[in-house]
Amino acid sequence: MEKYSHDIIIVGAGLAGLRAAVAAAEVDSKLDIAVLSKQHPLRSHSVCAQGGTAAVMREKDSYDLHAYDTVKGADFLADQDVAEFFVRQVPKEIVLTEHWGCPWSRNADGRIDQRPFGGHTFPRACFAADMTGFLEMHAIYGKVTSYKNIRFYDEWFATSLIVEDKTAVGLTAIEMKTGEMQAFRAKSIIMATGGHERIYEFTTFSHSTTGDGMAMAYRAGAPLEDMEFVQFHPTGLVPPGVLITEGARGEGGYLLNANGERFMKKYAPEKMELAPRDVISRAEQTEMLEGRGLQGPYGSYIALDLRHLGEEKINERLPLIRDVAIKLGGVDPVKEPIPIRPAAHYSMGGIKANVKTETSIAGLYAAGECSCISVHGANRLGCNSTADCLVFGTVAGEEATKHASSSSLHEVPQQMLAAEENRIHEIISRNGNERVPAIRDEMRQIMDEKVWIYRNGLQLETALKEIRQLKSRFRNVKIEDKGKPFNTGLLETLQLDFMLDLAEVTIACALPRTESRGAHSRTDYPKRDDQNWLKHTLAYCTRDGPRLEYMPVTITKWPPVARTY
């Protein structure tokens, strides 16, 4: 095997990346597959998924019901052909992961148990206690390591995609241990690098979730789709933002304001605490803005009350939540309500890809949270993301294999590697007076204050201006560590560079969308406007910032109706 040349390179070793690796290896045992990740695979954010994976597993449920729940949850911005394909694929993924060792929780008759989840009209969340992602990842990682033709590059940081004649031919990456940069060649490349929630301060996501793959694809010419839609999860633990799974409400937890009222009765009388996330996050934010939040040392918050579930059920169904609440929130949910408020939680937008995970760059595929295949539209339902990673990870692995078997490796021009090395060298050599942590904090403050649950034109305009100022200040950052091995200062700088691009795109897409749909709530345009805005946003990278185009939504069976719960 020629060094750094592979048939397929998968960037990212979360649920989508690992699932893609298995799918590719299953199709062709002779294929030379590489999985490149900036952290050990089992530290990918996917291990944090708690609540479950949504799948149709019972006769009383149906594909149409799951697809419709998804489309309605998406506020009708999902592509319905994709949603219909998606729901049909998930059940077999549940069975496969079970065969690979995922210990799904069981009900009394021995079948895989399912719990209710927000916006789903049937209890269809398959779960492994409240550690679903952790156990799925371990099962799939075990499977991946059984193939001899999959090679891991752990702790390699991809910095750029190499594209020639609109075809992805390779990428550049830094080996963190040595600090050396290498050019990789591949016939197919799969981006599976996860979301970009770290552009926000109060988020449920790991520090590594900085949107690198989205930014690399964007810079290489692939459009990003629907980036204005960022999901806010109703129950981020106060103060750290760590997630308290929706499963806590699926098991029967209540949300209470300062008056002890289950306020969801005003906002979603039927679904109450199990309305979709955008609806509940807005309700919580409204309660706090109107002075009915509880007050604590970290500001206003809402109470998530599990006490009535009893200690036995909490220990059996929500053991991690109890542990997290005690250790990070200082409260035992058996005895006291958990302090929570909405936290940035998911990126509905991402690299534009079709149902085959193909992007607009030949040979480049995208799967998992970094992609926008458009299952989730303007708001994702809980438990549909791990399902999306499994389904479209599989598709990406299979499609990348087909492409690799009918194409050949391209030479990566030496000057491209040299140019990227020079770019990084220039960043390390800067001796300006700006510091990465300061710019990063300011970016997050801008996003938390002005690009949060409720938005308006004035705030978005200001935020865009401020992010652009940060981008220009970024050119003056100084990295103290000028060395090569494990230069985390450099990696933090490169991540900030990616995030600044993505913050700019998020705002630039949100500003012209003069309506409220799903997770995008404009106080100056509070109504959904299907006449003008039933369309996807596409953002292309230009020297002057994002250039926007729009694309129709695919409707198959379900014309948009008013969304009530």
Tokens standing for residue 433: 């007076």
Can you say whether the dihedral through the CA atoms of 513, 516, 517, 521 is positive or negative?
positive
State yes or no: residue 11 binds ligand FAD (CB under 6 A). Answer: yes
**Is residue 160 part of the contact set for ligand FAD (CB under 6 A)?**
no
Counting contacts by CB under 6 A, is residue 318 touching ligand FAD? Answer: no
Binding mask 241-280 for ligand FAD (x = CB under 6 A): --x-------------------------------------
Q: Verify whether residue 249 is a known catalytic residue.
A: yes
Contact flags string 454-493 toward ligand FAD, x per CB under 6 A: ----------------------------------------
Q: Which of 9, 10, 23, 45 binds ligand FAD (CB under 6 A)?
A: 45
HSE-CB for 435 with a 13 A CA cutoff:
5
Catalytic site residue from 249, 282, 322, 513: 249
Alpha-carbon span 67 to 88, nearest angstrom: 9
**Of 342 and 463, CB closest to ligand FAD:** 342
The Cα–Cα gap between 501 and 459 comes to 18
Catalytic: which of 43, 233, 282, 380?
233
Q: Write a three-state SS string for 404-463.
A: HHCCCCCCCCHHHHHHHHHHHHHHHHCECCECHHHHHHHHHHHHHHHCCCEECHHHHHHH
Q: Residue for token digits 């930014």?
A: 215
For ligand FAD, what does the binding mask look like between residues 200 and 239, x meaning CB under 6 A?
Answer: ----xx--xx--xx--------------------------
Where are any strands of DSSP class E within 12-143?
33-37, 53-54, 114-115, 125-126
Binding of residue 517 to ligand FAD (CB under 6 A)? no
- DSSP symbol at 50: -
Under 8 Å between Cβ of 378 and 515: no
CB 350 within 8 A of CB 371: yes
If the CB atoms of residues 339 and 368 are measured against ligand FAD, the closer one turns out to be 368
Q: How far is the CB of 386 from ligand FAD (least distance, A)?
A: 3
91 touches ligand FAD by CB under 6 A: no
Is residue 35 within 8 A of residue 153, CB to CB? The reply is: yes
Which is nearer to ligand FAD, 453 or 534 (by Cβ)? 453
536 included as an active-site residue: no
Cα separation, 14 vs 395, in Å, equals 15
Residue with nearest beta carbon to ligand FAD: 14
Residue owning tokens 């750094």: 4
557-563's contacts with Cβ under 8 Å and 24+ in sequence apart are 557/64, 557/68, 557/80, 557/84, 558/68, 558/71, 558/72, 558/76, 558/80, 560/76, 560/528, 560/530, 560/534, 563/72, 563/75, 563/76, 563/528
Binding-site member from 17, 236, 339, 397 for ligand FAD (CB under 6 A): 17
Phi, psi dihedral angles at 145 (to 5 degrees): -75, -5
Give me the DSSP letters along 119-166.
T-SS--EE-STT-HHHHHHHHHHHHHTT-TTEEEEETEEEEEEEEETT
Please, which residue, 18 or 331, has the CB nearer to ligand FAD? 18
**38 counts as binding ligand FAD under rule CB under 6 A:** yes
Per DSSP, the three-state class of 515 is: coil
Q: Which is nearer to ligand FAD, 280 or 464 (CB)?
A: 280
Can you tell me which of 8, 44, 264, 273 binds ligand FAD, judged by CB under 6 A?
Answer: 44
Q: Which of 71, 131, 183, 192 binds ligand FAD (CB under 6 A)?
A: 192
**Using the rule CB under 6 A, which residue among 77, 102, 389, 390 binds ligand FAD?**
389
User: Which residues in the 102-141 window bind ligand FAD by CB under 6 A?
Assistant: 132-133
Count of residues binding ligand FAD (CB under 6 A)? 46
| Sole window of 14-22, 178-186, 219-227, 460-468 interacting with ligand FAD (rule: CB under 6 A) | 14-22
Site track for ligand FAD across 487-506, x = CB under 6 A: --------------------
Instruction: Give yes or no for a contact between 263 and 330, defined as CB atoms under 8 angstroms apart.
Output: no
Encoding tokens for residue 432? 């300006």
Least CB distance to ligand FAD at residue 240 (A): 11
Site string for ligand FAD, 356-375 (x = CB under 6 A): ------------xxx-----
Q: Does 37 bind ligand FAD (CB under 6 A)?
A: yes
3-class secondary-structure state, position 107:
coil
Q: Which residues bind ligand FAD (CB under 6 A)?
A: 11-17, 36-39, 41, 44-46, 48-53, 132-133, 157-158, 192-195, 204-205, 208-209, 212-213, 243, 346, 368-370, 383-387, 389
Name the residues annotated as catalytic: 233, 249
